[in-house]
Chain A
Amino acid sequence: MDKSDIIASPNRLVWGGLLALALAAPALVGFDLYMIHVGITISFNVALATSLWMIWSLGVISFAHAGFMGIGAYASALVLTKLGLSMWYGLWIGAAVSALFAMLIAVPLMRTRAVYFFMASWAVGEVIKRNFAYFKSFFGGWDGIFDIKPPVLDLGFLQIDFANRIAYYYLALFFVSLTVWIIYRMNASRTGTIWWAIHENELLAQHTGINVFRQKVVCFTIACTLVGVTGALYAHYQTYISPKSFDIWKSEFALVHLIVGGLTTVGGPVAGAISLTMVDEALRATGYFRTIFFGVVLIASVLLLPGGLETVPARIRKLFNRNSQK
């Protein structure tokens, strides 16, 4: 986990290129609606994986992450269906509710450590999901909430209806870029360094005067706020949510994206989420083979490419260096 080389090589060119590609993507696929749907799914997965990676910078993985995405989604959806407020309010209310719950739950949750944290957070995620399912009259039970309308942006001279997929793609892209940028900046800041210090050695971090417990709660809350926004966006894109959308598998797939992509830089989860979502969509037509292939890809990438996709550039560089020395 050498953090110094993350700061030393910002790879601005790569990030800029990725953003340009993402901006041009709808035109490149000829405004094909299915491909744009894939693009939006990729955006959500990137946001989920990067914010999970932010919790990983403390040295733990939260299985409650999809649950907090669900809190954001349900808050935003209920604000629309019960109060009639559009997504522009729902986004922030979803984020606030998600942050509030995250902060309340983080206080007891952060007492547990290492492998017990996975399981305690998993219990939190399950309880969140089961509560959505159990309180039928309020959350709609297993049937979920229907008819969550996407918003309309009225600029006076211009009206953008986000029921249009291309418009929604750019909206999702905007928020995802914002999420990744916030996480990147936080990680490069002093606070990020403190989190990595806790990751490396909690006891030592405490002895250098870091309030470990407070830092943990703060980091968890920020990550859950970001994923709450993603959840609200997800709800208004799908227009339908149910407890099943936010179960343990979503958190697990985010973890898989993280591991396949790499764990040391923010580029890891981004690369992992983009590539694996594409693989998953490409295999969609194959039915049961889809899950089998996905499992094979996962095991193969863990065993054959330790360190994940983020180590690929370094590996290629090493290959060329070795050749030139000969």
Chain B
Amino acid sequence: MSDFLQMGLTGLSLGLMYALIAIGLTLIFGVMRIIQYAHGEMFMLGAFALYYWHAELGLPYWAGVAFSAGLIFCLGAVLQVVLFKPLQGKNILYSLAVSLGLVLIISGSGQLLFGTTTKGIPSAVSGGMLIGGAYLSYERIVISAVSIGLIIALWAFLRHSVTGFAIRAVAEDPQTAALQGIRTDRVHWIAFGIGSAMAAIAGCMMGTLLSIVPTMGFLATIKAFMIVIMGGLGSVIGALVGGLILGMIDSVITTTISGDIAIILSFVVIFLILVFRPSGLFGQNWD
């Protein structure tokens, strides 16, 4: 019993972190209809920004998270304006190609600048507690709380703020939104920045939990895409549900059978979801 509780708790915290990465990606797709394949690199750069801030310079942890998020927000906004704006309205393949180029550039220069050795970020909190025989570290609790907090904050932002309304309007119908006087270009870089910043914060969280290497972005991209596809592109709820499903599969199957089977099984699950619900669990039909 305590084994299952342990797996469930691990799966939950993992799933929330996955959801954090995936929601950024789904926001970017929903608003701009582009495939941001370099989303995982934002995650990686976010983790390294915190590493240099906290572990190398010794500056406070939470300020580092904010610094990293701000930095990646700016990077995302600049990338959108410089690289992705000219591709607006073109076939989705072009955005895939450009972001693939970004992956190569960022992960290549990452290996050059940061080195290929694994690094770790010292965590902000230590210790843990026992719940019904399952061990839960405070670190994981903090990470889960941050993830939940950010997801709720994003939801409230999209629901209730003026910019959030504008983002949703552009996601719904860019032309009509533009006719209503919404500056779609501004919405685009804001959405791209927010999406990237969320990946960066997830990177900061992951960096304290695991070790960081410049090549870790690719795996994050894979996970994020798996989740987003499972939940339906452009759907925030879908990303949350997909993240939890994937987190549970990862945690339960990796512990009970093996890591290889967990990956195979999660791909099979995605494939089946797509076959029976061709637009994902909560997705609309994009063409």
Contacts and interface: CB of A to CB of B under 8 A. Distances in A.
B278 A113 contact: yes
Interface residues of B, number: 43
B104 A295 contact: yes
A212 B119 CA distance: 52
Given A116-B279, A295-B104, A123 B270 contact: yes
A253 to B, nearest CB: 9
B97 interface: yes
B262 to A, nearest CB: 10
Contact of A115 (B87, B92, B226): B92
A298 B283 CA distance: 31
A112 B101 CA distance: 27
Contacts of B101: 294-299, 302
Nearest to A290: B108
Contacts of A115: 35, 92, 233, 286
Contacts of B263: 126, 130
A291 B217 CA distance: 15
B83 A299 contact: yes
B225 interface: yes
Chain A interface SS verdict (over half): helix
Interface in B77-98: 83, 86-87, 90, 92-94, 96-98
Contacts, number: 124
Interface string A283-325: 0000011111011111100110010000000000000000000
Interface in A207-258: 252, 255-256
A165 B93 CA distance: 36
A127 B287 contact: no
B251 to A, nearest CB: 18
A-side interface size class: 35 or more
B274 interface: yes
20 contacts: A113-B278, A113-B287, A114-B286, A115-B233, A115-B286, A116-B274, A119-B229, A123-B270, A123-B271, A127-B271, A259-B97, A288-B109, A291-B105, A295-B101, A295-B102, A295-B105, A296-B105, A299-B101, A302-B98, A302-B101
9 nearest A-B pairs in the assembled complex, by CB-CB distance: A295-B104, A291-B108, A298-B101, A295-B105, A299-B101, A292-B108, A295-B101, A119-B229, A123-B267
Given A116-B229, A289-B108, 15 more contacts: A115-B35, A116-B274, A116-B278, A116-B280, A119-B225, A120-B275, A127-B267, A127-B271, A134-B264, A255-B97, A260-B97, A288-B112, A291-B105, A295-B103, A299-B105
Interface of B: 35, 83, 86-87, 90, 92-94, 96-98, 100-105, 107-109, 111-112, 225-226, 229, 233, 260-261, 263-264, 267-268, 270-271, 274-275, 278-280, 283, 285-287
